[in-house]
Amino acid sequence: MTDSKKDYEKILGSVQKPVIGEAGQTGTWSSKKPRIDLNKCIPVKSGKNTCFNCWLYCPEAVVTRTIPPTIDFNYCKGCGICMMECPAKAISMEEVKNE
């Protein structure tokens, strides 16, 4: 193994990877949840794997990097970071209705 490959593996080994739902299921206690307007979403409009700030900045790793992006509401804590980071303003936060 070359020295550069060993260095690369050391760096990768030190990077933390997000785990879906690390804070536990939030489906019963979150008060808001994000909604994606697919008419404004850049990857959906362009049909290309571009942007995905919602996926990148989600602290719970519950946004998929797919076209269209989807959100796992069982683990979404409703923090609104995805909404704040969306350059197209395609995400809004809606109140969760108690049923």
Q: pLDDT tens string for the chain (99 positions)?
A: 556 656 655 555 555 566 666 666 765 677 899 999 999 999 999 999 999 999 999 988 899 999 999 999 888 989 999 999 999 999 999 998 765
36/40 Cα distance (integer angstroms)? 8
Q: Are 9 and 58 in contact (CB under 8 A)?
A: no
Task: List, in order of start, the domains of the chain with CATH numbers.
Answer: 19-95 (3.30.70.20)
